[in-house]
Structure 1
């Protein structure tokens, strides 16, 4: 017995995506798939930041002072949150731009990631320079 598709479900899904993506014309599937791969790369980066934040908090109690450990762990976890959440909006805005043949939006995730990474690095450099022993 063959499965039959529900035409109403397909129509509802098409309406939902058309509204979410703001209409326009369907871009070349290669560009849509490239946008999706970029989204997944940002998600992997977010997961790595999350693992780093958890790792710092769980395994460095004998290395860092509690204030430094918490600052680094929370910074990494906040960056994970921002990159993970921002990646969806980045994907959506790029998809909309491609559908309307308009310039791609500037990435907001990259400055967040670079400034957050710099904050963590500065914190660690200060800790190493001020560490006695």
Structure 2
């Protein structure tokens, strides 16, 4: 699938519905709930980035942490819509759901950030 066709799936629900057959609505709704959970995670990361930028004392580390959280929030939001569209298409065509290493990678990045903040706090 080309990048352009993947992006079209994000913004055109008719594009997603044009393939395969309609799955049980419960699966589509579960897919949508998962998408919304990822968006809540993205909003929390963005909110955390804004809080760091506003409330931590002036320090170069403050900018690094704030930018990292904001960028990670944006990445999670983009990944959420991509995963929603690919999962919906897979359900409609009877294909296996798309595998994803993103949750594990996100958990590792957040863990590394937490450890870095712990070290910075104790130092």
Quick check: TM above 0.5? yes
CA RMSD of aligned residues (A): 1.8
The counterpart of 2:61, out of the listed 62, 68, 82, is 68
Whether 1:48 and 2:44 are equivalent positions in the alignment is yes
Point out the structure with the larger helix share: 2
Corresponding residue SS for 2:96: coil
In 2, Cα distance between the equivalents of 1:104 and 1:42? Answer: 17
TM-score under structure 2 normalisation? 0.81
Shift of 1:108: 4.2
Equivalent residue for 1:11? none
Three-state SS of the structure 1 residue aligned to 2:98 is coil
Contact in 2 for aligned 1:42/1:87 (Cα 8 Å):
yes
5+ residue gaps, structure 2:
1-11
Highest Rg: 1 or 2? 1
Count of aligned residue pairs for this structure pair: 112
Superposed displacement of residue 114, structure 1? 1.4
Gaps of 5+ in 1: 1-15
Runs of 4+ residues over 2 Å off in structure 1: 16-22
Partner of 2:114: 121
